[in-house]
A and B are shown apart, each in its own frame.
Chain A
Amino acid sequence: MATEEESAVKEPLDLIRLSLDERIYVKLRSDRELRGKLHAYDQHLNMILGDVEEIVTTVEIDDETYEEIVRTTRRTIPFLFVRGDGVILVSPPLRTT
């Protein structure tokens, strides 16, 4: 019936549907990550997230010591549209944070 069709998980996008209105973790290109509440998405993985935290990771190399300094920059955005072509993966939030 109609309700069975709705909840059937047939393809990867259906897995994302299970996370609607839940918090998710999104890995983006350019070493960026987002954590936020999924409000909308489409087949391109364009998304609208609420209460988002963005983490940007940069690696600096010291001129003298050549050591790698890994930095993370965080910011929060209340309501954000994310264009799908930047998305690498979508997942429930990782337990470690």
Chain B
Amino acid sequence: MLFFSYFKDLVGREVTVELKNDLAIRGTLHSVDQYLNIKLENTRVVDQDKYPHMVIQCVDYNSVFSFCKLSVRNCFIRGSVVRYVQLPPEGVDIELLHDATRREARGG
């Protein structure tokens, strides 16, 4: 429950979820559940050239810039496919985390 509570406090913040298949998705944390399934909004793929999974159309405006329409804006990510979540450093009080961990570890 520790990390479930932690992620609930982070709703609305920008995070980057790195999946086990090496895909990295940056977005706004919309919600999380007890399994640490994650819902993201305003998603964009980090390093699009390397991982074009989520891009359906790219329009090139005279090589000045190109615009890619993403097929996915919001997504649901199953908790078990997550490898890392890169978090905002100013997210939460670290001391609170330490105390919560000591309580959780003792009870578990």
Contacts and interface: CB of A to CB of B under 8 A. Distances in A.
Interface of A: 5-6, 13-14, 16-17, 20-21, 39-43, 46, 48, 50, 77-83, 85-86
A79 B86 contact: yes
A13 B102 CA distance: 11
A45 to B, nearest CB: 11
A81 B105 contact: no
Interface stretch (B44-52, B53-61, B64-72, B89-97): B89-97
Among all A-B residue pairs, the 9 with the closest Cβ atoms: A81-B85, A43-B108, A79-B89, A79-B87, A40-B97, A40-B101, A78-B89, A39-B97, A17-B105
The secondary structure that dominates the A interface is mixed
Interface of B: 2-3, 6, 20, 36, 79-80, 82-89, 91, 94, 97-98, 100-102, 104-106, 108
Contacts, number: 72
Given A20-B98, A43-B104, 14 more contacts: A21-B98, A39-B97, A40-B2, A40-B3, A40-B98, A43-B108, A48-B3, A48-B87, A48-B97, A50-B94, A80-B85, A81-B87, A83-B36, A85-B80
